Structure 1
């Protein structure tokens, strides 16, 4: 495969927080391949199968969860990385890991933890992702965390751009293993971020239509969607509407990926190294101005019609209550914590509350509901909205 000069090079990695031998005992893998494999084999990654993507605790088996979303992001990311000649393994690892910091119930759970932890510095799922990877997920005898490469951790920290004022979690981790937070991340990380946008913009349409929260006629008020729909109807006259809708989603993903590749290739053409990408002073992975405008309209539509749908908001309020009540219960009576977490509970603040938040953030939706039922004898009705 052609490797572009601006690609991250696993042979030239800046290393890991805790030095370790790479003697090939576990197979001839590059540093970034080992990162990817550590993510896939982690407990935190497996738990994504039980965490909300859009719909909380869905009854149907066909709705996306954080795990399936992450796999779809990784597929898109690898396509773009291969076309642009950057490191596919690093891109894939970043895509697979990007949502590991999400607590149960998606953004409703995050808001509840952020409010509960406000006196102790708050909670942010992006920063918590680094906390999981570097400290909480600890399967090794010799060190804490998964001990991923600098490039992997930098990409998670800065995939949305430079961070000038990190909150407590990221500030602590950066002090231990500096990640140059004020610069842009690698092109691999930038591609992973836009792959995430492409995946959820289009797959959330798919789930929203399936759940009945979105209607095709409303979607067709967006010119970008309407143009694709008309082209698909001409190409497949008389076909089943459900099949046409799936063609629509695939068509839009293809257009957005191709636009990302073409625009990014042009932006990065003069970059002589991965470090030049970081020093460029602007993101180089991007949509064209026209596609960026259409993507913003699509995202605004989804927020108005899907994410802020009245039923979604009502369910999110119930989920918020579950997390808030769990946090309060564990703070009032630490004996309610599971044994391992109870034994390591710090005595002093803010570490004590942050430890409790770590425990809750690692829960799946199902486990959070079970804990609420165990402590309070019930789970709020209507917690699942599909």
Structure 2
């Protein structure tokens, strides 16, 4: 498929920090296809199947976790990239990798780990994604990290926009290989960021209703949901609510994707963008919802925080999850001999590297591994029932 002139081009990639072997032994793939495949084959990607999306350590096999969410984001991202003539492989790779840096228990775990590491610079899941890919995930014999392309690392570093004040982890990576943090990201990275929003805006509604924390009648108080529901009900007047919900989620994703494609085309044309350098020099994002949809999407987010993410049952689980992460951090900092052997052997002697190393270990844990380690090194922990 022919790409637009402003799409990322693997033939024009700035390359990798460490040169690749060039004998063709690993198959006929371009730079961005290799990036995608390295993500899919990574241990960090596999761990996402046991990391919280919305519900901590969910008992129901049908709830989303970080892995299934990432796959759904990638599907949405590829659809948008194809419609806009962007590079689908880079878009997919960015979508698949965007959540690799999340610690156990989602945002509750991140808040606890950030507090535990406050004296050594804190913790940020986005920067930790880059740290995993450039430092911690090291399956190759001749270099640390996955040795991804510059475009891949740049997109992950600033898919939410230019980074004016990078924290310690991202700053260290940027010093080693500058990622032009003060410019706009590629359109592929911008697509990945909004594909993430579209996916969780809609799929969290589905999971919240399925969990019994977001009753359908409460969900229908939200204007965007109600509008989509009423349109689907008009087409399927006799459909059961649970089946109609699936239609609503599909319809709403379709509405948001279609709006984003139309508005992005308008912005790209209005800005006269004809190259990737023009994208990076633009003073604002070019991938965006229309003003009306952007307003509706912000209202939907506010509704979800009020009625699902901050639901008393969710807050109770989050509080306990935070105690698990804080307890692990305290125990390992106080007695690093409790670390597994491979982490003990690579423990730095000096601060802040020593505590950050312990933070790396905790951040890589899945929910269930964190609970098991807490029971081993701290004491019993019971997550509240009902989730």
Q: Provide the alpha-carbon RMSD of the alignment.
A: 0.9
Bigger drift between 218-227 and 285-294 goes to 218-227
Deviations 1:48-74 (A, max 9, x none): 000000000111100000000000000
2:3 and 2:86 in contact (8 A); partners too: yes
Kindly indicate whether the alpha-carbon contact (under 8 Å) linking 1:312 and 1:385 is maintained by their aligned counterparts in 2.
no
The corresponding residue for 1:232 is: 232
Q: Distance in 2 between matches of 1:118 and 1:277?
A: 36
Structure 1, unmatched stretches of 5+, are none
Change beyond 3 A, Cα 1:200–1:154: same
Shift of 1:385: 4.6
Structure 1 residue aligned with 2:259: 259
Which residue number in structure 2 is paired with residue 96 of structure 1? 96
Deviation per residue, 1:176-207 (Å, 9 max, x gap): 01000001100000000000000000000000
- How big is the shift at 1:222? 2.2
Task: Answer yes or no: is the 8 Å Cα contact 1:15–1:149 preserved in 2.
Answer: yes
Which segments of 5 or more consecutive residues in structure 2 lack a partner in the other structure? Answer: none
Name the structure 2 match of 1:303. Answer: 305
Normalised by the size of structure 1, how large is the TM-score? 0.98
Q: How does 1:283-294 map to 2 (within 5 A)?
A: 283-294=285-296
The range that moved more, 260-269 or 242-251, is 260-269
Counterpart of 1:20 in structure 2 is 20
Q: Which residue of 1 aligns with 2:145?
A: 145
User: What is the CA distance between 1:158 and its match in structure 2?
Assistant: 0.4
Contact 1:58 1:385 in 2 (8 A): no
State the TM-score, normalized to the length of structure 2.
0.98
Q: Is the contact between residue 55 and residue 385 of structure 1 (CA under 8 Å) also seen in structure 2?
A: no
Cα deviations by residue, 1:136-159 (Å, 9 ceiling, x for unpaired) = 000000100000000000000000
**Deviation readout 1:241-296 (Å, 9 max, x if unpaired):** 11100100000000000111111111112211111101011000000000000000
Q: Pairwise mapping of residues 368-383 of structure 1 onto structure 2 (< 5 A)?
A: 368-382=370-384
Alignment of 1:317-332 (within 5 A): 317-332=319-334
Report the counterpart of residue 53 of structure 2 in structure 1: 53
Q: Deviations over 1:117-166 (max 9, x none)?
A: 00000000000000001110000001000000000000000000001110
| CA contact 1:90–1:188 (8 Å) conserved in 2 | yes
- In the other structure, the counterpart of 1:366 is 368
Distance 1:114 1:233 in 2: 45
* Structure 1 stretches of at least 4 aligned residues deviating more than 6 Å after TM superposition: none
Give the alignment partner of residue 275 of structure 1, picking from 274, 277, 286.
277
CA distance in 2, matches of 1:54, 1:342: 32
- Whether contact under 8 Å (2:327, 2:378) holds in the other structure is no
Deviation at 1:381, TM superposition (A): 3.9
- Residues 206-245 of structure 1 aligned to structure 2 (within 5 Å): 206-245=206-245
Aligned length: 385
* Alignment partner, residue 193 of structure 2: 193
Q: CA deviation at 1:25?
A: 1.2
